[in-house]
């Protein structure tokens, strides 16, 4: 293994119960694989609080705070006040993950839409980027983003925050529109799956300066680890696969995706 790579895992859930008591060891394995920074993701108030606590405890760990569409029904006024307060924390680098999930529909779709819109506005007001979750909701996600972009152009709303579509699975037409608007696309273990032909076609075409890497740990382990607990160290496996897919040296892809992550999330160099 070549230790010279510097990688960033832009999306992991270090607070997950599968990592309980093992966080230090998980992060040590990540560092041994060249993963020097990890962004741990909030998805409701409890996980957002734990994400901030982990970022305070471990060097190289940063947090996002937000309400996932699964939990949109719990997003009351107190929740938005709390998110606004946490957004000022120096280790919080984004609002997220936010968006729409029409696969499980754990929250009503109209509520998901409203909470997504409101968190986009919140991110614009506090000056943070957003991490967007989109599962089986491509058209609805694009409708809300288009609304926000149009409102910004008209001057009737705060600037639409910079966005990364995490674990992107949409078609190239959606990717192209988002890229035109300055969005970033992030990919994890799914690109290594044998049935990921369409996804691979998209990520061959994404411009190098809009590409980020993630694990979504403990979910979505890449091949040949599929079905096992994922962890940030495996972002290296994804980087090596994607470099081969795009026909570039892994050192080149690592340097570019790390620069992208640091620019988007305003992370320091290490």
Quote the pTM value. Answer: 0.97
**159: confidence class by pLDDT, cuts 50, 70, 90:** confident
Mean pLDDT of 160-169: 97
pLDDT in tens, 99-153: 999 999 999 999 999 999 999 999 999 999 999 999 999 999 999 999 999 999 9
Residue 226 has pLDDT above 60, yes or no: yes
pLDDT of residue 78: 97
pLDDT in tens, 48-77: 999 999 999 999 999 999 999 999 999 999
pLDDT of residue 157: 80
**240: confidence class by pLDDT, cuts 50, 70, 90:** very high
Give the integer Cα–Cα distance in Å for 170 and 79: 30
Mean pLDDT of 211-224: 98
* Contact in structure between 122 and 96 (CB atoms under 8 Å): no
Q: Kindly write down the DSSP assignment for every residue of the chain, as one continuous string.
A: --TT--EEEEEE-TTSGGGTTTHHHHHHHHHHTTEEEEEEPP-SHHHHHHHHHHHHHSTTEEEEE---GGGGGG--HHHHHHHHHHTTSTTEEEEEEEEEETTT-SS-HHHHHHHHHHHHHHHHHHT--EEEEEES-HHHHHHHHHHHHHHHHHTSSSPPPPEEETT----HHHHHHHHHTT-EEEE-GGGGSTT-HHHHHHHHHS-GGGEEE---BTS-PPTTSTTSPP-GGGHHHHHHHHHHHHTS-HHHHHHHHHHHHHHHHTPPP-
The average confidence (pLDDT) of the chain is 96
Class assignment of domain 7-265? alpha beta
CA neighbor of 120 nearest in space, from 148, 86, 82: 148
Give the integer Cα–Cα distance in Å for 103 and 178: 22
Task: Please state the domain extents for the chain.
Answer: 7-265
pLDDT of residue 3: 52
CA atoms in the 13 A half-sphere facing the CB of 215: 30
Residue 2 has pLDDT above 90, yes or no: no
């Amino acid at each position: 293994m070549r230790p010279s790579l510097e990688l960033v895992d832009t999306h992991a859930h270090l607070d997950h119960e599968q990592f309980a008591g093992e966080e230090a060891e998980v992060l040590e394995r990540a560092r041994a694989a060249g993963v020097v920074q990890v962004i741990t993701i909030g998805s409701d108030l409890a996980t957002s609080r734990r994400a901030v606590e982990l970022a305070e405890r471990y060097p190289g760990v940063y947090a996002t705070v937000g309400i996932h569409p699964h939990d949109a029904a719990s997003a009351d006024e107190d929740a938005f006040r709390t998110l606004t307060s946490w957004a000022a924390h120096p280790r919080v680098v984004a609002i997220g993950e936010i968006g729409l999930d029409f696969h499980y529909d754990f929250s009503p779709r109209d509520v998901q839409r409203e909470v997504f819109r409101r968190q986009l506005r919140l991110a614009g007001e506090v000056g943070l980027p957003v991490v967007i979750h989109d599962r089986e909701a491509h058209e609805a996600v694009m409708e809300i983003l288009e609304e926000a972009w149009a409102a910004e152009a008209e001057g009737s709303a705060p600037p639409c925050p910079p966005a990364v579509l995490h674990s992107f699975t949409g078609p190239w037409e959606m990717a192209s529109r988002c890229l035109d608007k300055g969005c970033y696309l992030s990919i994890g273990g799914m690109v290594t799956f044998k049935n990921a032909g369409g996804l691979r076609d998209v990520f061959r075409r994404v411009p190098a300066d809009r590409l980020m890497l993630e694990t979504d740990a403990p979910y979505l382990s890449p091949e040949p680890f599929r079905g096992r607990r994922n962890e940030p160290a495996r972002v290296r496996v994804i980087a090596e696969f994607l470099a081969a897919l795009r026909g570039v040296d892994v050192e080149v892809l690592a340097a570019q995706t790390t620069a992208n992550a640091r620019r988007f999330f305003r992370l320091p160099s290490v």
